[in-house]
Homo-oligomer: A and B are copies of this chain.
Amino acid sequence: MPESQPRGPELDKRKAYILTTIVYEYIATAEPVGSATLTQKYNLGVSSATIRNEMAELEARGYLVQPHTSAGRIPSDTGYRTYVDRLMPAESLASEESDRLRTEFARAGRAIDEIVEQATRLLSQYSQNLAVVVAPSKDSQVFRHLQLIWLADRSVLMVVVTTAGVAEQHVIEPVVDVDPDELTRASNALNRRLSGTLLVQLDRGTVVDALATTEPPLHASLIDGIIAGFAHARRPEERRILFGGAQHLLDQPEFRDFKKLRSILDLVEEQRTLYNVVLDSIERGESTPSVRIGGELELEDMSECSLVAIPYRMGDRSLGVLAILGARRMPYGRMMALIAATADHLSQHLTDVELP
C-alpha cells in the first residue's frame, strides 16, 4: 500500500517537468517560485491549484523546500541533484565562445605557471564565479635534463629541467672541493641514464645506480646533495592553489550576508580544506565535470554553495584540477559546459608546449 511515498521510485512526466521548471526559474530569478508564476510563464495546460498539489507532493518527497509558510518553493539538494543528473538538457559552449577561449589561451605563452594563471583568469571571467585551480605538482613531471654548475669550491648549483619546461634549482654544498669536470661527468651520466623518468621515481637508489659507473667515484656528500636536489625539485607536498574572481560572489544575492562571505573567504585563505574537497571531487579520474551541491560539500556554512570540478592533463598524465565555486543556485548546464571546454583547451595547450 504505497500511500505515502517518501523519495518515490520515479517522477512522472508532469512532476519532472514541474521540478525542472522550478529549478530553472529559481536559478534565473533567485526568488522562491509560486504556483501562479509557473502557470503564467510556462505553458503547463493545468491550473495553479493543480500545480499546488503537485508541488506539495514534490516537497513531501524531498525535492523542494519552502523557506516559510507563505512563500513559493525552492529546490532542495535532492531537487538540484535530480535536475543535474536526469532532467537538465545537456549544454555545450557556443562555438564562438569556445574559439575565444582558445585564442586567449594562446596568449599565455609557454611557461606552465603562466598558462595555469591564465586558465584561472578565464574561468572566473567566463563563469562570473570564483575559480579555483589546483596547479600541477612537480612529481608527475618527466625529468628531461640536469646541469650541475660550479659556483665555488664547495658550492654547486643544480638545475633540473622537466619536459614541462619547468626548471628547478637547488644549491648543493659538498664537504669537499669539487671541480667543474667532475660535475660535467656526473651531469652527463645522470642525463644519459635517467632522462625520461618521472620525477617521482628519482629516489636514492635510482640516482646511486646511475652514478655507479662514474670514474673516479663522486664524494658521498655530492651524491647526497643531488638526491636532495631531486627531492626538492619534486616537492609533492606543495601544490599551489590559485583563485580568481572573488568579487563576482558579491553579485549573488545569497552572499549579501557577511557570515557566508566570510566563510568563503576564510576557505580561500586556508586553502587546505578546499584543496581536499576539490581533489575529492575528481578522485574518480573521470573526464566529465563532477558536481557537488550544497550539503554534499560537507563543509560548515557552505550549504549555499556548489562546486563544479574537472581534471586537466598534459599528454596523458593528469596534472591538476579546475573548479568553479559559486552559489548553489548556479546555471549548472552552462558551468559544466564551460569548465569542460576550459579543461580541454588547457590540456591541449599544455600538451602542445611539452618539450620533446
Contacts and interface: CB of A to CB of B under 8 A. Distances in A.
Interface of A: 110, 144-145, 147, 149, 151-152, 155, 157, 159, 161, 165-169, 171, 244-247, 250, 256, 258, 261-262, 265-266, 268-269, 355-356
Given A145-B149, A246-B265, A246-B268, 15 more contacts: A110-B171, A147-B159, A149-B161, A151-B355, A157-B355, A159-B159, A161-B169, A165-B169, A165-B171, A167-B167, A171-B355, A246-B246, A247-B265, A247-B266, A250-B262
Contact of A155 (B168, B247, B356): B356
Given A157-B161, A167-B167, A149 B147 contact: yes
Contacts of A258: 250, 256
Given A145-B157, A244-B269, A356 B152 contact: yes
29 contacts: A110-B171, A144-B157, A145-B149, A145-B157, A147-B159, A151-B355, A151-B356, A152-B356, A155-B356, A157-B161, A157-B355, A159-B159, A159-B161, A161-B169, A165-B169, A165-B171, A167-B167, A167-B168, A171-B355, A244-B269, A245-B269, A246-B246, A246-B265, A246-B269, A247-B262, A247-B266, A247-B269, A250-B265, A256-B258
A74 B161 CA distance: 58
A167 B149 CA distance: 12
Nearest to A165: B169
A45 to B, nearest CB: 42
Contacts of A355: 151, 157, 171
Contacts of A262: 247, 250
Nearest to A187: B147
